[in-house]
C-alpha cells in the first residue's frame, strides 16, 4: 500500500470516511465464548448498581475504614472474592459499586467478567486487571487492534494472532502431561486446574466441537512454569514444537472484548477496511480479519489505495457541481432562498430511504421538488445545466401536477457527502438532490424527461389504488353497520306482517333478564373488589403489628425481653401455626444482639444451637457480651436450654429464621476455679464442715411447721407462696426459669373458677 496522492481531509471528514470505507466484521464473535444479549441485560443492571433499598446492616470492624482505604482493599481482591464480599449485605454492594474501575468493567466488560467466572479463572485476576485490558486496545502479540480477550492470561489478542500465534495456544492438561512426561498431579500444582471450557462452540475452520476437553491450559504459561523449576526436558521441548491441529481449542479460550476510550468516554469494537477486503484474494486472509480502532483506521486510509479510491468515488463530481454551481445560479437561487426549504440528505441514510419509498431513486444525484404534497419535478443525474435550470424554474412558481403520496411539504438535497445544509422556508416548496456511493454516470437507460414521466405515472397509479382500496373499505363498513341495525330492529320490534305478541314479550323478558344478569355480575365484581381491599387492609395491619412487635423485642433485649415478649402478640395463633418447616439442606439464620445489631450466616440444617450456633454467636458478636438464651420470633417462643441439642431442622428454623438473644440475669461460674489457690480450697473445706454440723443440730432441735388452716387459700396467695418457696431454695442454678409459667392459674372467663394453663400455650407467648 502506497500513498496515491489523493487528498483526504481526515480532520473534517472523519465520520464520513468511517461510514464509507469501513465495516464491522463480527463474524468471529459467535465462534468464541459468547453470551446472549437478553441474558446479559439483567445481569449488567444488577452488577452496576446496588439495591434501591438503603442498607441497614454494617460491616463490623471493616466498616470503620475510610472510603478511600476500603476501595484500595476491594481493588486488591480477586474477582471471585469480590463477588463473595458483595453477597454479605447491601452495604457491601454499595462499597463494591463505589469503585470506578468496577463500574466500567461491569458496564463495558461484562462479557469478559462473566467469561472468567464461567471458566473458573476469576480467582486469578482482579477488577483492576480486567479494567486495564478494557482500556488497552493493542494485541499483546503483534500490537495491532485486539478485539478479543484471551481468558487464561487476560490479555488482548487480534483475530489473526488468536488463530496462529504460539502465545495463545491452549492444550488439555492430560495432553501436555503426556508430551512433557510430567505427572498430572505435579502439573496441576505448578500450573493450576486451568480453564474450564464452556460447551456449545462452533469453529469456522473445524465446525462443531461435539466433545471439547473439560479443561484447557495455556501452553506458553505451562512451559514457563516447568522451565522455572527445571522440569522441562529436551524431549518435551521437541514434542511441544511438533505441529498439532487445535485451532478450535483456541476459540474455547477467548471472548469478544470491546475497547473503552477513557478520553472520549466511548466504546469501540474495531472496524475493518473495505479497501483491504476488495484487494485480498484469499477468502480467509489476514487482511480480511484485521481490525482497527477508529483513530488507527483514519491513519490507515492515508496509506490504503483501495480505501482512497472508495472515498474518491463516493464524493461525486456531479453532486458537487449541482450544489456549487447549478443551485447557486442567479436565475433560481433567489427563488430557492425565499420560496423553498432546501435539505441535503446522505445517500443510503435512513432519511434517504424514506424519500426513496415515495419516489424511486434509480440514480443519484437526484433533485425532487414537492409543493403542497404534490410532485412538481423529478431531475436525475445526467442532465445539462440549461435543462436543469429550465425545469427547476418552471417548477418553483407553483404549477399544478399529479398528487404525490407525500403528506408534508419538504425539500431535500440528498448527497453522499457527509455535509448537511438547511435553509429556512417561507413556502412549502422543496427540492432534493441525491448521490449514491457508486460513481455517477452521465448516461442513463432512458432520457431524464421520460424517467420523470414514468415516476409521475407510477405515483398516480399508486394513489388511485390507494383511493380505490379506501373506498371499498368504507363501503364494506357501511354495509356491516346497516346489517347490524336491521338485526337489532328485528329483535326489538314486531314486524308489520303480524308477529305473535308472546314472542315479542319473550324477547323483551330475555333482554330484561340479560340486563339483570349484567347488573348482578357488576355487583359481584364490585363486591369482590371491596373484599380484596378489605383483605389487603387486614394484611397490612397484620404486617404493621408484626413490625411493631419486632421493634419492641429489639428495644427490650436483655432482662426485659422475656416480660415484653410475653405480652406482645405478633400474630394470631392460627396464622403462625400454618407456618410449616420446609426440608432444606441449609438454614439462613439472623441473630439480633443485645445492642440491636444483626449478624447473619448460613448453617447446615443438621447443626445444633449449642455446638455450632452458640459458638458462632460468641465469635461474631459485637455487643457488650454476657450469657444468653435464644428466642425465636416467628413463632415467638423461648428456646429452652434442653432444646439446644436438637438440630435446626427439628427446631423448625429452616429454611430461614430470626433469633433474638435474651440476657440471663443471674448466673454463676460454678466451675470457674482458674484463680483458686490452695488457701481458698482449705478455707472452703472448713466452711463446708461447720455448715454440715450446724445443719445437723438445727434439724434435730427445730419444731415442726404449723398445720395449714382449713380455709382454702386464694389462688393469688398460693401462687405468691409457691414462688416464695422456690425463690428461697438453696440452689437456684438448678431451677428452670420457666417453671413459674407451667402451673400458673388462668381465669377462664365463664365462671369464678380458675383452670391451669394448657401445655401448648407456652408456644404462643
Q: For 173-182, what is the mean pLDDT?
A: 83
Interval 493-517 mean pLDDT: 72
Among residues 455, 432, 429, which one has the least CA distance to residue 322?
432
As a whole number of angstroms, the distance between CA 677 and CA 301 comes to 94
Q: What pLDDT is attached to residue 135?
A: 92
Weakest mean pLDDT among 27-31, 63-67, 109-113, 536-540: 27-31
C-alpha 239/C-alpha 9 separation (Å) is: 54
pLDDT score recorded for residue 126:
92
* Sequence-ordered strand ranges (E) for 445-518: none
Reported confidence tier of residue 426, pLDDT bands at 50, 70, 90: very low
| Spatial contact of 140 and 167, defined as CB atoms under 8 Å apart | yes
* pLDDT value for 203: 41
The pLDDT tens digits for 716-761 are 444 444 444 444 444 444 455 555 544 444 444 444 444 445 544 4
CA atoms within 13 A on the CB side of 80: 11
Biggest CA pair distance of the chain: 147
Mean pLDDT in residue range 542-570: 59
pLDDT of residue 555: 63
User: SS3 letters for 80-133?
Assistant: HHHHHHHCCCHHHHHHHCCCHHHHHHHHHCHHHHHHHHHCCCHHHCEHHHHHHH
Mean pLDDT is highest, among 44-58, 282-296, 369-383, 421-435, for 369-383
Position 166 pLDDT exceeds 50: yes
- How sure is the predictor about 315, in pLDDT bands with cuts at 50, 70 and 90? low
Give the length of the chain. Answer: 765
Going by C-alpha positions, the residue among 430, 297, 325, 444 that lies closest to residue 380 is 444
Residue 216 phi, psi (nearest 5): -135, 145
- pLDDT exceeds 60 at position 299: yes
621 has a pLDDT exceeding 50? yes
- pLDDT at position 136: 92
* Helix locations, 302-340, DSSP H: 305-315, 317-321, 330-339
- Residues forming beta bridges with residue 604, ordered by sequence position: 586
pLDDT tops 50 at residue 427: no
Mean pLDDT of 419-423: 33
Cis peptide preceding 635, ω within 30 of 0: yes
According to the model, what pLDDT value does residue 19 have? 77
Q: To the nearest whole number, what is the mean pLDDT of the chain?
A: 72
Specify the long-range contacts of residues 571-578, CB closer than 8 Å, at least 24 apart.
Answer: 571/542, 571/545, 571/546, 571/634, 573/764, 575/542, 576/634, 576/635, 576/764, 577/635
Is 587 within 8 Å of 655 (Cβ atoms)?
yes
- Give the model's pLDDT for residue 604: 92
> Of the spans 308-312, 410-414, 553-557, 723-727, which averages the highest pLDDT?
308-312
Q: What is the DSSP letter of 445?
A: S
- Please check the confidence at residue 6 and state whether its pLDDT lies above 70: no
Least confident segment among 125-134, 319-328, 504-513, 714-723 = 714-723
The percent of residues above 70 in pLDDT, for the chain, comes to 66
pTM: 0.44
For residues 426 and 314, which has the higher predicted lDDT (pLDDT)?
A: 314
Task: Give CA–CA dist 665/563, Å, rounded.
Answer: 13
Residue 364 is predicted with a pLDDT of 66
- Work out the average pLDDT over 615-637: 85
Q: Contact 437/313 with Cβ under 8 angstroms?
A: yes
CB of 213 within 8 A of CB of 249? yes
In this predicted structure, what is the pLDDT of residue 705? 53
CA–CA dist 77, 509 (Å, integer): 81
Q: What is the DSSP letter of 513?
A: H
Could you report the per-residue pLDDT of 68-119, keeping only the tens digit for each? 898 899 889 999 999 899 888 888 888 888 888 888 888 888 888 888 888 8
End-to-end CA distance of the chain: give it in Å, rounded. Answer: 89
Q: In angstroms, rounded to a whole number, what is the distance separating the alpha carbons of residues 225 and 218?
A: 11
Place of cell 426459669: 737
318/191: higher pLDDT: 191
Structure confidence at residue 129 (pLDDT): 92
* Per-residue pLDDT at 120 exceeds 80: yes
Of 109-123, 432-446, 547-561, the one with minimum mean pLDDT is: 432-446
Q: In this prediction, what percent of the chain has a pLDDT beyond 90?
A: 5
| 634: nearest Cα among 551, 564, 577 | 577
Task: Tell me: pLDDT of 713 over 80.
Answer: no
The helix/strand/coil state of 462 is helix
- Angle in degrees, CA 490, 493, 499, rounded to 5: 85
Q: Mean of the pLDDT values across residues 37-48?
A: 71
User: Domain residues of the chain, as ranges?
Assistant: 316-462, 551-573+581-663
d(CA 377, CA 348): 22
Mean pLDDT of 452-463: 68
Strands, E assignment, 598-646: 598-604, 628-632, 637-639
Distance CA 376, CA 404 (A): 9
The whole-number pLDDT of residue 752 equals: 44
Give the DSSP H or E segment for 734.
none
Q: What is the pLDDT of residue 431?
A: 45
Given a cut of 60, is residue 673 above it in pLDDT? Answer: no
From 343, 363, 334, 348, select the one nearest 409 (Cα to Cα): 343
Q: What is the pLDDT of residue 27?
A: 62
Name which of 43-47, 501-505, 508-512, 710-714 the model is least confident about: 710-714
Among the residue ranges 305-319, 373-387, 458-472, the one predicted with the least confidence is 305-319
Is 3.10.20.90 the CATH classification of the domain at 551-573+581-663? yes
The pairing of beta strand 628-632 with beta strand 586-592: unpaired
pLDDT at position 575 is 39
Most confident region among 63-67, 356-360, 692-696 by mean pLDDT: 63-67
Q: How far is CA 65 from CA 61, 81, 86, 128, 621, in A?
A: 8, 19, 17, 21, 19
- Measured CA to CA, the distance from residue 224 to residue 169 in angstroms comes to 13
pLDDT at 490: 56
What contacts 571, CB < 8 A, 6 or more positions away?
542, 545, 546, 634
Please report, to the nearest 10 degrees, the dihedral formed by the alpha carbons of residues 126, 128, 129, 130 taken in order: 90
Query: What angle do helix axes 79-86 and 110-118 make, rounded to 10 degrees?
Result: 100
**Which span out of 111-120, 225-234, 359-368 was modeled with the highest average pLDDT?**
111-120
Mean pLDDT across the stretch 233-249?
71
Res 641: pLDDT? 83
Per-residue pLDDT of 571-592, as tens digits, reads: 443 433 334 444 678 899 999 9
Residue 104: left if φ>0, alpha if ψ -120 to 50, beta else—which one? alpha
Continuous segment of H or E residues that includes residue 268: strand 266-268
Whether 254 and 156 have beta carbons less than 8 Å apart is answered as: no
Amino acid at each position: 500500500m502506497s500513498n496515491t496522492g489523493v487528498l483526504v481531509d481526515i480532520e473534517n471528514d472523519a465520520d464520513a470516511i468511517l461510514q464509507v470505507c469501513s465495516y464491522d466484521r463480527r463474524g468471529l464473535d459467535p465462534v468464541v465464548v459468547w453470551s446472549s444479549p437478553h441474558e446479559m441485560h439483567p445481569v449488567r443492571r444488577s452488577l452496576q448498581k446496588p439495591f434501591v433499598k438503603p442498607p441497614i446492616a454494617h460491616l463490623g470492624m471493616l466498616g470503620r475504614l475510610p472510603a478511600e482505604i476500603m476501595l484500595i482493599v476491594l481493588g486488591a481482591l480477586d474477582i471471585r472474592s469480590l463477588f463473595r464480599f458483595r453477597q454479605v449485605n447491601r452495604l457491601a454492594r454499595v462499597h463494591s459499586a463505589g469503585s470506578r474501575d468496577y463500574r466500567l468493567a461491569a458496564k463495558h466488560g461484562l462479557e469478559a467478567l462473566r467469561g472468567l467466572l464461567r471458566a473458573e479463572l476469576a480467582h486469578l485476576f482482579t477488577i483492576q486487571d480486567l479494567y486495564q485490558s478494557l482500556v488497552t486496545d493493542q494485541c499483546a502479540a503483534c500490537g495491532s487492534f485486539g478485539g478479543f480477550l484471551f481468558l487464561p492470561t487476560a490479555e488482548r489478542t487480534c483475530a489473526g494472532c488468536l488463530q496462529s500465534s504460539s502465545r495463545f495456544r491452549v492444550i488439555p492438561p492430560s495432553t501436555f502431561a503426556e508430551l512433557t512426561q510430567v505427572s498430572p498431579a505435579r502439573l496441576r500444582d505448578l500450573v493450576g486446574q486451568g480453564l474450564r471450557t464452556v460447551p456449545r462452540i462452533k469453529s469456522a475452520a473445524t465446525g462443531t466441537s461435539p466433545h471439547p476437553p473439560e479443561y484447557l491450559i495455556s501452553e506458553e504459561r505451562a512451559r514457563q512454569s516447568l522451565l522455572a523449576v527445571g522440569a522441562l526436558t529436551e524431549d518435551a521441548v521437541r514434542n511441544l514444537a511438533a505441529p498439532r491441529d487445535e485451532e478450535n481449542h483456541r476459540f474455547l479460550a477467548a471472548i469478544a472484548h470491546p475497547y473503552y476510550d477513557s478520553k472520549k468516554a466511548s466504546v469501540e469494537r474495531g472496524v475493518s477496511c473495505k479497501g483491504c477486503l476488495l484487494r485480498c484474494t484469499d477468502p480467509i486472509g489476514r487482511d480480511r480479519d484485521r481490525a482497527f480502532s477508529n483513530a488507527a483506521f483514519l491513519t490507515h486510509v492515508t496509506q490504503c489505495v483501495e480505501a482512497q479510491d472508495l472515498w474518491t468515488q463516493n464524493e461525486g463530481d456531479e453532486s458537487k457541481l449541482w450544489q456549487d454551481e447549478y443551485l447557486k445560479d442567479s436565475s433560481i437561487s433567489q427563488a430557492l432562498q425565499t420560496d423553498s426549504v432546501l435539505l441535503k440528505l446522505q445517500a443510503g441514510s435512513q432519511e434517504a430511504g424514506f424519500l426513496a419509498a415515495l419516489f424511486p431513486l434509480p440514480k443519484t444525484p437526484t433533485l425532487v421538488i414537492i409543493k403542497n404534497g404534490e410532485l412538481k419535478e423529478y431531475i436525475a443525474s445526467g442532465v445539462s445545466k440549461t435543462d436543469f435550470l429550465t425545469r427547476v424554474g418552471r417548477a418553483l412558481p407553483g404549477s399544478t401536477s399529479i398528487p404525490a403520496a407525500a403528506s408534508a411539504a419538504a425539500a431535500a438535497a440528498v448527497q453522499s457527502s457527509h455535509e448537511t445544509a438547511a435553509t429556512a422556508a417561507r413556502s412549502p416548496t422543496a427540492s432534493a438532490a441525491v448521490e449514491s456511493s457508486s460513481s455517477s454516470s452521465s448516461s442513463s437507460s432512458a432520457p431524464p424527461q421520460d424517467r420523470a414521466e414514468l415516476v409521475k405515472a407510477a405515483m398516480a397509479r399508486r394513489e388511485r389504488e390507494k383511493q380505490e382500496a379506501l373506498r371499498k373499505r368504507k363501503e364494506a363498513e357501511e354495509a356491516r353497520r346497516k346489517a347490524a341495525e336491521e338485526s337489532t330492529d328485528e329483535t326489538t320490534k314486531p314486524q308489520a306482517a303480524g308477529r305473535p305478541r308472546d314472542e315479542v314479550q319473550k324477547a323483551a323478558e330475555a333482554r330484561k333478564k340479560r340486563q339483570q344478569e349484567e347488573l348482578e355480575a357488576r355487583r359481584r365484581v364490585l363486591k369482590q373488589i371491596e373484599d380484596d381491599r378489605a383483605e389487603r387492609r387486614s394484611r397490612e395491619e397484620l404486617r404493621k403489628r408484626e413490625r411493631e412487635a419486632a421493634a419492641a423485642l429489639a428495644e427490650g433485649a436483655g432482662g426485659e425481653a422475656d416480660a415484653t415478649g410475653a405480652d406482645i402478640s405478633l400474630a394470631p395463633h392460627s396464622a403462625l401455626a400454618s407456618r410449616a418447616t420446609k426440608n432444606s439442606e441449609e438454614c439462613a439464620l439472623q441473630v439480633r444482639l443485645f445492642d440491636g445489631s444483626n449478624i447473619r450466616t448460613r448453617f447446615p440444617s443438621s447443626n445444633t444451637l449449642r455446638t455450632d450456633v452458640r459458638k458462632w454467636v460468641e465469635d461474631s458478636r459485637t455487643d457488650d457480651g454476657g450469657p444468653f438464651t435464644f428466642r425465636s420470633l416467628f413463632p415467638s417462643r423461648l428456646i429452652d436450654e434442653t432444646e439446644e441439642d436438637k438440630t435446626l431442622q427439628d427446631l423448625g428454623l429452616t429454611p430461614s429464621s430470626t433469633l433474638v438473644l435474651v440476657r440471663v440475669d443471674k448466673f454463676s461460674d460454678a466451675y470457674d476455679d482458674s484463680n483458686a489457690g490452695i488457701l481458698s480450697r482449705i478455707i472452703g473445706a472448713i466452711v463446708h464442715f461447720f455448715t454440715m454440723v450446724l445443719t445437723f443440730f438445727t434439724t434435730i432441735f427445730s419444731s415442726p411447721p404449723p398445720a395449714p388452716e382449713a380455709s382454702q387459700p386464694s389462688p393469688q396467695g398460693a401462687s405468691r407462696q409457691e414462688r416464695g418457696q422456690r425463690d428461697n431454695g438453696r440452689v437456684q442454678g438448678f431451677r428452670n426459669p420457666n417453671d413459674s409459667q407451667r402451673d400458673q392459674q388462668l381465669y377462664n372467663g365463664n365462671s369464678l373458677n380458675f383452670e391451669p394453663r394448657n401445655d401448648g400455650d407456652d408456644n404462643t407467648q
